[in-house]
């Protein structure tokens, strides 16, 4: 039986999401300032969007760009080579950092590796994410979309915070955390986040609602983190309608994605255009900390539930409890 509710809801993201071509004008080659001496980390960096973000940063003279993604047999060498080839510099300062956001232990290991190599972190782009039809859980038993899209990033940020704060004290510092949400946050279940269902598969709701819940959490997290650390600019962004590896994967599981695949190029843009909001938020002069931007440079378009400060405070308290005691040994 066709789930027409799922078709309609998914279509809102696939076909009717905010267009990347709207918003303020931003050209990566022209508008990203020199990144001399800066260290940048991009999660989900092996995927289309993350790899494109890493490539654009690598073109602007940073000290290092870290591509953080799932551990690979080749240690990420092929991904690094692809970015260097795109930059046109076989010696571009790009490194791979293996991390599984569905595992607290993997996150801790990755942060240890990063901190052993670096004394600063100027920009963290929390780009990794999944939308999966089949239910599942993380290593610690959290609903898989919430665990990877939100909680894994929350732990990563928490463990990197001493480095971020130390960097913010340096002369001329401009430290930023860009958390990638989605227009799809409007598909969250009633109330935005169902706290008593975050452990387990939460099969009572649709896969797109589980995804939407995780993206509401990201918006709230950015707002709360910004309030607690005003020396760092923290924002959430929506990348727009893009054909990515995640969309290709969903074509195997979702009728809507399968049906719309042939016409999606008419509605979608390339990753190079899609990452404009990431890059503007990470480097732009007019970024306001704590905001959600959709499309490029346009704030405050999130849903009423995503704007709910009581919900984001509750999320922060829940997160603090969930991550209590997790430290780098």
- Does residue 307 have an active-site annotation? no
In angstroms, the CA 192 to CA 210 distance is: 10
Instruction: Please name the residue that has the structure tokens 């939407």.
Output: 212
| Residue in 38, 108, 215, 291 annotated catalytic | 215
Distances, alpha carbon 140 to alpha carbons 150, 151, 216, 221, 306, in Å: 14, 11, 21, 20, 26
Asked if residue 152 lies in contact with residue 218, where contact means CB atoms within 8 angstroms, the answer is: no
Rounded Cα–Cα distance for residues 119 and 116 (Å): 8
Active-site residue (options: 96, 211, 292, 293):
211
Tokens 């993206």 found at = 215
| H-assigned helices in 92-173 | 104-117, 144-145, 153-168
* 293 flagged as catalytic: no
Q: Report the candidate in 22, 52, 85 with the shortest Cα–Cα distance to residue 243.
A: 52
Q: How many residues does the chain have?
A: 329
Catalytic residues: 211, 215
């Amino acid at each position: 039986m066709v789930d027409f509710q799922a078709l309609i809801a998914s279509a809102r993201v696939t076909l009717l999401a905010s267009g990347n071509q709207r918003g303020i004008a931003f050209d990566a080659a022209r508008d990203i300032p020199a990144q001399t001496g800066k260290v940048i980390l991009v999660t989900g960096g092996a995927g289309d969007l993350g790899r494109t973000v890493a490539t654009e940063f690598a073109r602007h003279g940073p000290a290092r760009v870290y591509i953080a993604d799932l551990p690979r047999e080749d240690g990420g060498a092929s991904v690094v080579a692809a970015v260097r080839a795109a930059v046109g510099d076989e010696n571009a300062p790009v490194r791979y950092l293996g991390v599984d956001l569905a595992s607290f232990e993997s996150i801790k290991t990755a942060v240890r590796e990063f901190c052993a190599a670096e004394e600063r972190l100027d920009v963290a782009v929390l780009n990794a994410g999944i939308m999966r039809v089949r239910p599942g859980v993380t290593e610690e038993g959290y609903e898989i979309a919430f665990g990877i899209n939100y909680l894994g990033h929350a732990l990563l940020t928490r463990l990197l915070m001493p480095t971020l704060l130390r960097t913010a004290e340096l002369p001329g510092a401009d430290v930023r955390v860009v958390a990638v949400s989605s227009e799809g946050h409007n598909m969250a279940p009633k109330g935005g986040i169902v706290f008593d269902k975050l452990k387990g598969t939460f099969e009572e709701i649709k896969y797109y609602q589980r995804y939407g819940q995780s993206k509401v959490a990201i918006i709230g997290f950015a707002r709360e983190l910004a309030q607690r650390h005003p020396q760092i600019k923290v924002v959430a962004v929506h990348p727009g309608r893009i054909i990515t590896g995640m969309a290709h994967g969903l074509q195997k599981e979702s009728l809507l994605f399968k049906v719309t695949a042939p016409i999606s190029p008419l509605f979608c843009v390339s990753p190079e255009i899609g990452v404009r909001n990431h890059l503007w938020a990470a480097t732009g002069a007019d970024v306001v900390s704590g905001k959600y931007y959709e499309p490029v440079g346009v704030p405050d378009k999130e849903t009423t539930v995503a704007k709910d400060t009581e919900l984001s405070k509750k999320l922060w308290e829940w997160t603090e409890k969930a991550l209590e005691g997790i430290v780098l040994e």
